[in-house]
Amino acid sequence: MKTLTITSKMSNSGSIHDMASDMCDRDIEFRGSAKFAVVLSAYYGGKGYTTHKTERAAAATARANHEYSLMILDCNGNRYDEYYGELILVGQMNEAHETN
Neighbouring residues of 33: CB distance < 8 A, sequence distance ≥ 6: 53
What pLDDT, in 10s, does the model give residues 14-33? Answer: 677 778 887 888 899 999 99
CB-CB contact of 75 with 3 (8 Å): no
> Torsion angle, CA of 34/38/43/47, rounded to 10 degrees?
-30
Angstrom distances, CA of residue 83 to CA of 3, 51, 80, 86: 26, 19, 9, 5
What pLDDT, in 10s, does the model give residues 33-89? Answer: 999 999 998 887 778 999 999 999 999 999 999 999 999 999 999 999 999 989 999
Angstrom distances, CA of residue 30 to CA of 21, 50, 94: 19, 9, 18
